[in-house]
Amino acid sequence: MRKKIVAGNWKMNTTLAEGVELAKGITEQINDISKGVSLIVAPPFTHLAIIAQMLKGTPVAVSAQNCADQPKGAFTGEVSAAMLKSVGCTYTILGHSERREYYGETSEKLVKKMALAFENGLKVIFCVGEKLEERNEGNHFDVVAAQISEVLFGLEPQQMKNVIVAYEPVWAIGTGVTATDEQAQEMHSYIRKTLAAHFGEEIADETSILYGGSCKPSNAKKLSSCPDIDGGLIGGASLKAEDFIAIAKAW
Ligand code: PGA
CA of 37 to the centre of ligand 1 (A): 19
What span, in angstroms and rounded, lies between the C-alpha atoms of 154 and 123? 16
* 8-state DSSP, 72: S
Give how far the C-alpha of residue 246 lies from the chain's centroid of Cα atoms, to the nearest Å: 18
pLDDT digits (tens, 9 = 90+) for 34-93: 889 999 999 999 999 999 999 999 999 999 999 999 999 999 999 999 999 999 999 999
Taking the model in full, what pTM does it have?
0.97
Q: SS3 for 232?
A: strand
From the candidates 47, 96, 140, 188, give the one annotated as an active-site residue: 96
- The pLDDT assigned to 1 comes to 78
Q: Residue whose CA is closest, atom 7 of ligand 1?
A: 235
- Supply the residue whose CA is at minimum distance from atom 6 of ligand 1: 235
Ligand 1 centre and the CA of 74: distance in Å?
32
Spell 27-43 as b/e; 16+ CB within 10 A means b.
Answer: beeeeebeeebbbbbbb
Mutate to test the pocket of ligand 1, among 97, 131, 215 (most ligand atoms within 8 A of CB): 215
- Please list the alpha-helical segments (H only) found in the chain: 16-28, 48-55, 81-86, 97-102, 107-119, 132-136, 140-152, 181-199, 201-206, 217-224, 241-250
Residue 236 and residue 247: Cα distance in Å, rounded? 12
Lining ligand 1 with CB less than 6 A are 9, 168, 173-174, 212-215, 233-237
User: Is 96 an annotated catalytic residue?
Assistant: yes
Distance CA 80, CA 34 (A): 34
Tell me how far the alpha carbon of residue 129 lies from the centroid of ligand 1, in angstroms. Answer: 12
Protein residue closest via CA to atom 1 of ligand 1: 235
Q: Which of 250, 237, 216 is nearest to 41 (CA)?
A: 237
Please state the atom number of ligand 1 nearest to the C-alpha of residue 238.
3
Q: Which of 173, 214, 216 to mutate to test the pocket of ligand 1 (most atoms within 8 A of CB)?
A: 173
Look at residues 196, 8, 198, 207 and name the one whose alpha carbon lies nearest to residue 91.
8
What's the pLDDT score for residue 39?
Answer: 98
Give the pLDDT confidence score for residue 176 in this predicted structure.
Answer: 82
Q: Cα(166)–Cα(126) distance, rounded to whole angstroms?
A: 6
pLDDT, position 96:
98
Which residues of the chain are modeled with pLDDT < 50?
A: none
- Nearest residue (CA) to ligand 1, atom 2: 235
Tell me, what amino acid is at 240?
Answer: K
95 CA → ligand 1 middle, Å: 13
pLDDT for 218: 95
Helix axes 16-28, 241-250, angle to 10 degrees: 40
Residue among 152, 146, 150, 151 at smallest CA distance from 129 = 146
| Helix, strand, coil % in the chain, rounded to nearest 5 | 50, 15, 35
8 A C-beta contact, residue 160 and residue 148: no
